[in-house]
Amino acid sequence: MTATRRLPPWLKRPLPRSVGQKPVDALLDEQRLVTVCEEANCPNKAQCFTHGTATFMILGDTCTRACRFCSVKFGRPPAPPDPQEPARLLYAAQQMKLSHVVITSVDRDDLPDGGSAHWAAVIQAAAHGLPGATVEVLTPDFQGQLDQVNTVLAAKPHIFNHNMEVVAALFRSIQPQKNYQRSLDVLRHAKQQAPQVITKSGLMVGLGETRADLSKTLQDLKAAHVDMLTVGQYLKPEPNLAEVVRYYTPDEFAQIKAEAQALGFSKVAAGSFVRSSYNAKEQFIGTA
């Protein structure tokens, strides 16, 4: 049995008062919307909900893949995409007065188009209903089917994000249903297909990677023409998931950020609580 690692002092912080979460919770329940904040047990959920923001997760709450870092339910999703979801998501975004809408999804490998048409419908609803807002999407790899990536891009999101999550050496053990080169190809293709779109990717550290592993992945992402990068500490969300091998210090995150900036990424966020969709608006405008 693996002993639970004690959190270092820089990972201990007070939670915001929960009363501020209630309006967001109520709105999401009313509209039957799912958020990755809740499903993935994100450590930033209380802070985001208190400040009236959330990352919408479309296409249900059950994923067809079982990555060893993620607490989202795994199984065969029982229902096809809900055609009313784009309108319900737009209504919630309008009520929350969002100027930067962040959307992600579970993997839907059970669907012939990977859910890409539904993705496009959601993006278009947000763009038309919130004309002044930016739309950021955090997509699956669509099993490398680039025509499905094109369907998403044709809906004209402002930011196209696909997370690598871990370095190449850990793909087989941490996310065996994904492929390192395939994820790089998706990101490279997105920039080639839609040069105006901002491409983005995210990594977690603390799962056993070496600094050489991390440096190689940063270089590969830059070679794939990724613009924005996030790097955060892996924090085990459930007992049956992968163990934390070590906690990176704030100084180490500062070094990672400096290395990424030197490679030429336009914007880099690196820190213990950094997540790809946390403070996404601030990352986009360069204040995070």
* Per-residue pLDDT tens over the stretch 92-132: 999 988 888 999 999 999 999 999 999 999 999 999 999 98
Cβ atoms 238, 74 nearer than 8 A: no
Please tell me the chain's helix, strand, coil percentages from 3-state DSSP, rounded to the nearest 5: 40, 15, 45
pLDDT higher than 70, residue 44: no
User: What pLDDT score does 49 carry?
Assistant: 52
Q: What is the CATH architecture of 18-285? A: Alpha-Beta Barrel (3.20)
Task: Assign 1 a pLDDT band (cuts: 50, 70, 90).
Answer: very low
Least confident of 49-63, 76-90, 158-172: 49-63
Query: CB under 8 Å to 194, separation ≥6 — which residues?
Result: 153, 156, 160
Q: H or E stretch including 231?
A: strand 228-233
pTM: 0.90
Q: How sure is the predictor about 24, in pLDDT bands with cuts at 50, 70 and 90?
A: confident
